Amino acid sequence: MPKTITVEKTTADRDDRATETRRGSSKKRNKKAARRVLRLARLAHRTRRGLAPLYATAAQAAAGSILATADDGWKTALAGTVTGAATTIAWARWDGRGLVTKRHRRKKLPARADFIAAASAVTTGGSLVTAMAATGGLQLGHSPYPALTVAWGVGHGIYWWRRNRNTAAPAPTLSEQMQLWQDNVACPDGSLPHSKLVDVVTTDYGWTGVIVLHKGNWRKAVSAANDIAGDLDLPEEMLQIEKAVGKSARRAIIAVFNRNPLQDVLDFPGPQILDTKTGQARVGIYYDGEPAHYAFWKPSGPVHSVIYGATDGGKSRFLDMLLGTERHNGIVSWVCDPQGGQSLPRWRESVDWYEDTAQGGLAMLYEVRKIMYERSGRYSLMEWTDHKGRVLRGRDHFVVNDPDPLISVTIDEAHRVLNLPAAPALVLEIIQMARKCGIKIRLVFQGPKANMYGSGPESTDIREQAQSGNTVMFRTASTLTDSIGLPGWDINPSQLPMYWPDKTTTAGLGYIKGPDNRQAMMRAYFDRDPAHWATTGTATTIEPSAAACTGKAYSERLDRLAARLRGETPVLPDDAFTDTTADPARLSPSTDPIAQATAAIANEAPAGTDEKVAGFLQERGRPVGRITIAQETGLTISAVKNSLTRLKNKGAAIAVDRGIWAHPDHVDNAVDSTELAQAA
């Protein structure tokens, strides 16, 4: 059976435990009270500015009551009042002590109203505390002190609250440009809903900013440029949007002009625009003042180029600048101007080879092909030293002036040459292979339509190859061709204005795809005096080994130029459209399109052509057009044209009118109206 233990409880035991419980409760109450005080202190700190008049009123009442308990408390209150008044006066006039700069003093001086309010608060409040301390404190009941204290707090509190409300820092506001953007462009029915405009910077010409799209990429902003101009109530030509290079694809750069900075004509600074170390030339500037670059060559070799532009777009002056740069930087320039030399007349005697007919341009291309194969064969066996000092045989790239100069072939109005038989295939072969041999092709057109590149199947390939290098597009005439000239670019060269608002021309305004890769408007330099650069310096010629492989079309070029300057019409040599230096195996008509084209040209003028044309003119008895001659004799138009030129030089045919020819004995006879209509 378990043992039971009995414990007796005494009164002392109960009292001890009760005392311990009461002590524990007291500690908890103290902690709660401390927390309340801390919360009140935090609240007072947070509201210290807004409730400052209330705190000052309470402190004033407490100070008056406390000082009233001492016999001389009023003296302490009076001393505090005098000290406060002196401090207030010093605060208002402390700049007279010369402790800081004048500029700093102007910023720190209190306003007159603030000084009056502070002086009133200190003197009236101090006087009220002194009176309470001298007469027994606040004295609730019939004493006037409670009402005076409340009136003091309300009166000075009203001024305090109104002052802080008026001088509080205003909420940040959007700039004018950002507000316009938010209200007109980024609104739900705007051009770019929910977009943002950030980083707005004022410039000399207007302002720039960064568009942050809500959805999509920067192309969306570029394609909406005209709509954005409408939303902002701006002329289309006074706004430019381009890709923000190196930033998020959702960002685009916008520039708005007060006056387009490209409106001022930019003078050509001279041939020093070409950096011979990089092969790049500064040919103009963008709207933001950054230079626009054109590549003559890069480490792998020359860079082909194509230039587009409508009449008065700036093509000819741009070519003047490039040819002047080439002449003064050791580059061989060959130029074909099929417009009779009217587009580039300053360079007729200032380049290594100049032709002013489409047939002359075709002959030039044949000579280019010969040089290409001559250099290719020579470079394939050349010894050279690479960057590691190794001597290697066979170089697969071109180095300017090591050992040969760069050859730049410019063909203006290139469609006239490419419409000739054999020309498209010949140009395609050159443009695909000539870069490694140091030959650069520069084609110039009024627009990038496919028919400009010839009617053969090679036309599309030529355009793609040429546009893979430099592409310069001045103002064009059709919106249908904008995307063809610069595929993948969201630009509209056809919408460039012809005149600025002040009625001056915009010639030279356009876009350039080159080393900069910027889809932004630029304006090319304007060569005011191309004759200066054409008549100074020395034209560079091809190397002797290249000259040795060419035919009479090149070697007799100066003789033909002299004859042309005498007013004669020179005739190209018989070997102008042959390639005697090429591999015979490649000239098989069944395998080589160039050989087929060459044979076709040769067949255009079979033996007895001149006699047949002269006999027809004699038999006709009156002036006749070239088309009729070709139809009646069964010859091609080209063969008839060449034959008439030769007969004219012999005095056996006379040009009566444009496209109208006659035998010398029949010049005075009447011309059939049908012939005139066909010739027109």
Concatenate the DSSP letters of all residues of 443-483 into one string: EEES---GGGG-SSTTHHHHHHHHHTSEEEEE--S-GGGHH
Q: Which residues of 517-553 are buried (b: 16+ CB within 10 A; e: fewer)?
A: ebbbbbbbbbbeebeebbeebebbebbeebeebbbbb
- Lowest-pLDDT range, 6-15, 62-71, 200-209, 412-421? 6-15
Average pLDDT, the chain: 80
673: confidence class by pLDDT, cuts 50, 70, 90: low
| pLDDT tens column, 532-546 | 999 999 999 999 999
Pairing of strands 654-657, 280-286: unpaired
- Residues whose CB is less than 8 angstroms from the CB of residue 380 and which lie 6 or more positions away in sequence, other chains included: 394, 395
Q: With contact defined as beta carbons under 8 Å apart, do 425 and 594 qualify?
A: yes
Q: With contact defined as beta carbons under 8 Å apart, do 493 and 510 qualify?
A: yes
104: confidence class by pLDDT, cuts 50, 70, 90: very low
Residues 176/177/183/189 CA torsion (nearest 10 deg): 170
20: confidence class by pLDDT, cuts 50, 70, 90: very low
Query: C-alpha distances in angstroms, 140 versus 10, 129, 153, 180?
Result: 54, 15, 17, 62
d(CA 196, CA 210): 8
- The domain locations on the chain are 32-165, 176-259, 284-564, 604-679
pLDDT of amino acid 448: 83
Q: Per-residue pLDDT for 331 more than 80? A: yes
| pLDDT tens column, 361-403 | 999 999 999 999 999 989 988 888 888 888 888 888 899 998 9
The CATH class for the domain spanning 176-259 reads: alpha beta
**Helix (H, G, I), strand (E, B), or coil: what is residue 403?**
coil
pLDDT of amino acid 408: 96
Q: Per-residue pLDDT for 187 more than 80? A: yes
d(CA 518, CA 255): 14
State whether CATH 1.10.10.10 applies to domain 604-679. yes
pLDDT of amino acid 109: 57
- Lowest-pLDDT range, 119-123, 249-253, 326-330? 119-123
Task: Dig out the tokens for 194 from the structure.
Answer: 């929910």
What mean pLDDT is predicted for residues 130-157?
74
**Helix (H, G, I), strand (E, B), or coil: what is residue 98?**
coil
| pLDDT tens column, 539-596 | 999 999 999 999 999 999 999 999 888 888 888 887 788 765 444 333 333 344 444 4
Nearest to 60 by CA among 42, 43, 80: 80
pLDDT of amino acid 565: 87
| pLDDT tens column, 208-245 | 899 999 888 888 888 888 899 999 888 887 888 888 88
Q: How far apart are the first and last CA of the chain?
A: 145
pLDDT of amino acid 367: 94
Residue 403: cis peptide before it, omega within 30 degrees of 0? yes
What mean pLDDT is predicted for residues 294-317?
91
pLDDT of amino acid 626: 82
Nearest to 660 by CA among 672, 650, 652, 647: 672
Beta bridge partners of 301: 298
pLDDT of amino acid 579: 61
pLDDT of amino acid 296: 96
Domain 176-259 identical in fold to domain 284-564: no
pLDDT of amino acid 589: 35
Within a 10 A sphere around the Cβ of 301, how many other Cβ atoms?
21
What mean pLDDT is predicted for residues 439-463?
85
102: confidence class by pLDDT, cuts 50, 70, 90: very low
State whether CATH 3.40.50.450 applies to domain 284-564. no
Q: Per-residue pLDDT for 404 more than 50? A: yes
Q: Per-residue pLDDT for 360 more than 70? A: yes
Beta bridge partners of 425: none
